[in-house]
A = this chain, B = another copy of it.
Amino acid sequence: MTTARKYVLETLFQGTPKKSDLKIVEETLPAIKDGEFLAEAVWLSVDPYMRTLVNSSNIGNTMIGEQVAKIIESKNDDFKVGDYIAANFGWRTKTISNGDQVRKLDRSVYTDDKLSTAFGIMGMTGATAYLAFLDICVPKEGETLVITGAAGAVGSAVGQIAKIKGCRVVGFAGSDEKVEYLKGLGFDEAINYKTMTSLKEALDKACPKGIDMFFDNVGGEFYDTIIPQMNNSGRVVIVGYMSQYNSEKPDQGPRLNPSILAKELTIRGFFIYNWLPRWPEAFKAIGEWIDKGQLKYTESITEGFDNMFDAFAGLFTGKHIGKAAVKA
């Protein structure tokens, strides 16, 4: 018998998540059975999507999310004590599993210093950047890409992949520090949307040949303004809509059907868990780019399971650069 700690959803998020919406509780775990193992969280992920996937049916449940865990007890031959795994166990310190939907980490790739990349650049966020951008935006050399939420884990990787593919890359972010970070990654233009005077003018200036591709993490006024400024046959991938996550009333904006028709735009939604069979392809390419120094990644690390909510809340205040990760 062992004790796990976990975050339970007490009340449904309304607007910006509050600390009191989640409660840390202790759970006594039974002995493991044949075929099972016990894993202890080493790294935990916080991601914006967690805000949107929680609904009233989740009240009383463990908060959802990915983690990297170490196997500390096992009656399953495929998962031995000392192995590391990535899994959607949620916000909890210890978990019993039979190995279903669990990804065992190849330690020659996920070395000690890279364990947290299993839910970052070599995990869900990297796979999202690679597959959503290449498959849906279908970049051609010389084309212009606009990225919102560009300093986030996904956006910063997309921009670098687009540079590898020979595109002009323009990113929006929410602080001068983030703008500097993006320029350091090779973005052609990085714009602090909090201090710019006009989004339309900023786009006109940063995109002299118009916009061919739009990788959207934010939605809202960015989406409203960028769609009408796109070039003919433009491609748009909707990966997030940060501007709406915490909004309490239905969000209204201009109906953009005239622009979509006249420019023959393609707009597509992307949800990474529908693309699992193609993750290995993404990791192979990303791993090679990292090894060659063509793709850099940053993590914003919060220490301690008890501080996990603060790391999560920081996603909505623009606190983090790159992938937000919690060290258990």
A binding-site residues for B, Cβ under 8 Å? 52, 216, 219-220, 223-224, 232, 238-241, 244, 250-255, 257-271, 274
Contacts and interface: CB of A to CB of B under 8 A. Distances in A.
B269 A262 contact: yes
Given A238-B260, A260-B238, A254 B250 contact: yes
Nearest to A234: B269
Contact of A255 (B219, B271, B274): B219
Contacts of A265: 267-269
A76 B234 CA distance: 40
A239 B224 CA distance: 20
A248 to B, nearest CB: 14
29 contacts: A220-B255, A223-B255, A224-B255, A232-B274, A238-B261, A240-B261, A241-B258, A244-B255, A250-B254, A251-B254, A251-B255, A253-B253, A253-B254, A253-B255, A260-B268, A260-B269, A261-B269, A261-B271, A262-B269, A262-B271, A263-B269, A264-B268, A264-B269, A264-B274, A265-B267, A265-B268, A265-B269, A266-B266, A266-B268
Contacts of A244: 255, 257-258
Nearest to A219: B257
Nearest to A253: B255
A261 B274 contact: no
Q: Which 4 A-B pairs have the closest CB atoms?
A: A261-B269, A260-B269, A241-B257, A219-B257
Contact of A252 (B219, B253, B262): B253
A269 to B, nearest CB: 4
Contacts of A223: 255, 257
A138 to B, nearest CB: 13
A270 B262 CA distance: 7
A252 B254 contact: yes
